[in-house]
Each structure stands twice: as structure tokens, then as C-alpha cells.
A and B are shown apart, each in its own frame.
Chain A
């Protein structure tokens, strides 16, 4: 049993992080905390990809005469793209949060929803 966990330790860690991240994205009411959850969620996928590239007994994928087997570099290259995507998503999210804060003076989701509900009632009364 312990062998089963230890031999695939990377994957277990990645699953654990994934669950933590998902929980943060769904359950937290603070918009910034949701973004932190999103980052953890995405990083877990990076970890998953990087672990996948390891070949048993392989060395780093750099040309070397003594090397017999190399690790698979493709997942690493792929994840480089995904990291860029993740950074830009975070940047967009944070800039939207800044605008939300300027409009509502808060980053708590339930307070924002309250304000929005009030807006709708007022516009309804005016008509």
C-alpha cells in the first residue's frame, strides 16, 4: 500500500492540489481567494504534465554522449505554453477585480450580489 502511494507520489500530490484548488474556486466568496484557488488548480496540472515526461532511468533531455535514455521533453514544452496561458488568465482576472473594486468598493461576492440586486430593484421602481 505504501509502495502504491510512494511510487506515484507526484500524481497523488497533483490530485491533492487539484482538489484544493477546485474547492477554493467554488467555495470561497472572496474574489481574490478564488483566483488563488484557480492558480493552485492550474499549477497542479503543470505538475501532472511534468511528472508525465519522466522516463525510467532517463536523463535530462540535453545531448550527452554517456546518456542511454532521455526523458520526454514534449510535456515540458507543452506546459511552458500552459504556464503563459495561466499567467495571462491571472492577469486578466486581477485587472477585472480591480475594476470590480472601483465600482463596488468591495471584493466579497455576496456583498456585490446584494448591491446588484438593489440596483435592479431601483431601476424597477423608477419605471
Chain B
């Protein structure tokens, strides 16, 4: 059953170019239909998981340690829900936005690669086989290189090329790590490796594997010193693709890192046998501060949001590095929330570009007079990014702080607060400029409805899930049970 989650987008990606021969508009509707079906399927699967427990699928009927296995459990169902939701909503948005940014004849190929990227990220989340993980990472990366290169400006080409070089180094490191793990344990199934690895903790092979795997994933994750590919890739890609990358790309790598650290290696290995968590904590704190500070220096709206993403990735890894139940819950919540918030902000940035053709923040004087609704939703999402109570952004920061207190690392708290203040400064700058009242009143020219509705839904969800916080909290509690339980 769960294999259809992968099969539907994969088959769609292959047949889309054929529909493109019939009519250039058809691929959009095919993508939309497949995205919707997949979203419904993921919701139904998740419901089943929460009542009956983990579901597995074996390829070709070969049982777990020998064949390739797909697993959906409490941890990856929450990630699947947010990914398929964001993909569906960004697909709705993409129609009008792409009509402006991409030549008509390239649309079928864009949608084919766009769906292939979706297949890749779903595969990373759902697979239980470590080599399959590498293959899906490469599927997602290869399609994202080409999608970024489709951007309008010629900077997009260099952005894509640089991402290709760094992404390949990262993926090849992961491949080397998998090789060492296979040499040490003789298995590729994650659950099986976990059992076999226990007596091998002091083996140099296992440690080398750990080093290569984490380093490769950190490159894919764009953790601070390895973030150089991210800002250009996010800001020069077509708006819809930039939003999808920001909402799902790095989040999936964060999930893969959690899987490697807790489901392949164990918490004792990460914390006691090698002092990985302390190093990781330090890197995360530096990433949080550096990302927020670099975002302050940007004048291009999309670049500012991209640098802010680098800071937010620091929060996710902070929760992973503190490695107790509360902080991990904060981490999973932050993957969920940040996907929602940053996706929404990128969609608004794309909408402003669609209507007014401007990207520089200082050119946006008084645009709230022209696009009042978009800017209103921008304010809601900004408040959520800062972490105001009654928005989802508050929940994850709250759990991260509680987690830090639980293990007695009090110095984490001021850093979270400082970074929240910094994000207040860099995001509120745009709000202030756009509400500047010197400009004469102009007629309202909002984004088209198909672009506005996704923004409305995302903004309302950030508030709704912040008020009725039981839903994300119970989902993430389920996820933490899987991370620590087994």
C-alpha cells in the first residue's frame, strides 16, 4: 500500500512530457491531480499508522535484511504530511507564477522534473534501506539542479552549477560512508545495521562511516560553514521552485540526519563513545547566530529569506544535538513549522515579484497600499518566524528551550532569544518599509487568486495550529517515541 506514495509521482513524472505534446497547459493539471491524490493517500496512511503502528513494504516480496524495505512510522509520517501538503499547495500557486517566469514550451519539462524532485524527497523520507536513501538523494538533487538552472536571470546558471559541485561532494561522501558501513556490518537495511553495529562501536571503520555520513548530510542540509550553495540556489530559482526547495529540500536532509543518528547509529554512540553532540551543539549555535546576522546584511528579499533559512536550520540541528525527548520534539516541530512558514514567505516574495517586478527590499516602499492582503499575511508569518505565542513558531522554540533546560545547557536560551530578536529586525524592516505612508495612494493590484489562496491557507494554518497546538504536539510526540523508543 505505502509503495503507491512513491509510485504515483514517479509514474506521473514520466508521463507528463507526453501530455505536454497534446497541450502545453495539460501538465499542470496532471501534476495537480497527482499531488492531490498523493496528499490524500499520505493522510490516509498516516491515520492508519497512528492507530495500528508501523507499516512496512518489501520490494518483490524479499524480507527485510535482504530486500529493499519501505517503512512508514510515527517519525516519517509527520514529515510526509508536511511535504505532500506543501507540494500540493505550491503546485496550485505555480501555474500563474510560472507562466510569467518560464517560456511556455518548457512548462511540460518543468513539471516533469518538479514531480521527479517530489518523488526524490518522498523517497528519502520513506525508505528503510541506506543505499536506497543515497539513490533518492541523487534523484532529488539532480532534478533540483536542472530546476534551479531554469531561473530567469543568468545568475541562476552559476547558482545551479555551484550547487551541483557541492551537492555531488556531499552525496559522494554519503556513498563512501555507506560503503564503510557495509564493510563493517555487511548489511544495508537501517534496522538491521542498528542491531549489527553494537559490538562494532570501537571499530575505526564504523567511526569513519559516521564521519562521512554526517559530513555529507551536513552539506546537503546547508549547516552554517557548508551553506554557500543555498542562498543563490533559493533566490535565483523560479519562484515556485524556490519556495518548494525552501519548504522541503533542507528539511528532508534534516530528517535523514535524524534517521542516521538515531536509527542507524544509536544515541549512546553519538553521545558517549564519540563527543559528536558537543561539537554539533557548537556548530548549531554558530549557525543560528551567523544565519540571522547574514540575513541582516541582505537587500534582496529572497536572499534575506534564504539566509534566514540557514539560521533556522541551526534550530533544527540544535534540537538534534541536545538529544533528549523534549528537544527532539522541538526539532521535529521546527521541521514542520519552518517548512510552513518559510514556504509561505517565499510564496509572498514570489507574488511581489510577479506583480511589481521588484526584489530589492528598499524598492518596496509603500507596497502595502498596492498589495494590502499579501503584506497582512506577511506580517502574520513574520510573527510566527519570530516565535510569538499563538503561532506555530512559538511551539518549537518553547520546546527547544525546555529541552535545553532539561540537560542544563542554559547558555542556549540567550542565543535563541538573540536570534529571535535578529529575525524581528530583518523581517520587520520590510514590514516597516512597505507600510511607509509617504507614498501616494495607488490602486490595489493584488496577486491572482490562484496565488493568493495558498498564501492565505498557509498563514491561517500557522495561526490555527498555534492555537490548537494539540495536533502538531501529539504528532511530534509520536515521532519522538520512534526516535528514542526503538
Contact = CB atoms under 8 A, between A and B. Distances in A.
Interface of A: 22, 25, 31, 34, 38, 41-42, 45, 48-49, 52, 74-75, 78, 81-82, 85, 88-89, 92-93, 96-97, 99-100, 103-104, 112-113, 116, 119, 127
A45 B175 contact: yes
A89 B157 contact: no
B176 A48 contact: yes
B183 A96 contact: no
A49 B179 contact: yes
Contacts of B134: 82
A25 B157 CA distance: 17
Please give me the 7 A-B residue pairs with the lowest Cβ-Cβ distance, nearest first: A103-B154, A85-B138, A100-B157, A96-B161, A96-B149, A52-B183, A92-B145
A17 B135 CA distance: 23
B312 interface: no
A93 B158 contact: no
7 contacts: A42-B168, A45-B172, A78-B188, A88-B142, A93-B164, A100-B157, A103-B157
Given A34-B165, A75-B182, A88-B142, 13 more contacts: A45-B172, A74-B182, A81-B131, A85-B142, A88-B138, A89-B168, A93-B145, A96-B145, A96-B164, A100-B157, A112-B158, A113-B158, A127-B363
A45 to B, nearest CB: 6
Interface in B125-144: 131, 134-135, 138, 142
Nearest to B154: A103
A75 B145 contact: no
B363 to A, nearest CB: 7
Contacts of A96: 145-146, 149, 157, 160-161, 164
B169 interface: yes
Contact of A116 (B131, B158, B160, B176): B158
Interface of B: 131, 134-135, 138, 142, 145-146, 149, 154-155, 157-158, 160-161, 164-165, 168-169, 171-172, 175-176, 179, 182-183, 188, 360, 363
B129 to A, nearest CB: 11
B168 A81 contact: no
B164 A89 contact: yes
Nearest to A78: B131
Contacts of A41: 168-169, 172
A21 B112 CA distance: 32
A116 B155 contact: yes
B33 to A, nearest CB: 28
Contacts of A25: 165, 169
B142 A100 contact: no
Given A25-B169, A88-B142, A100 B158 contact: yes
Nearest to A72: B186
A75 B178 CA distance: 11
Nearest to B300: A120
A39 B53 CA distance: 44
Contact of B142 (A82, A92, A97, A113): A92
Contacts of A88: 138, 142
Contacts of A97: 161
Contacts of B138: 85, 88-89
B353 to A, nearest CB: 14
B113 to A, nearest CB: 11
A11 B217 CA distance: 24
A48 B386 CA distance: 47
A12 to B, nearest CB: 15
B342 to A, nearest CB: 25
B161 A100 contact: yes
A116 B157 CA distance: 11
B251 to A, nearest CB: 23
Contact of A42 (B155, B172, B363): B172
A45 B164 CA distance: 18
A99 B135 contact: no
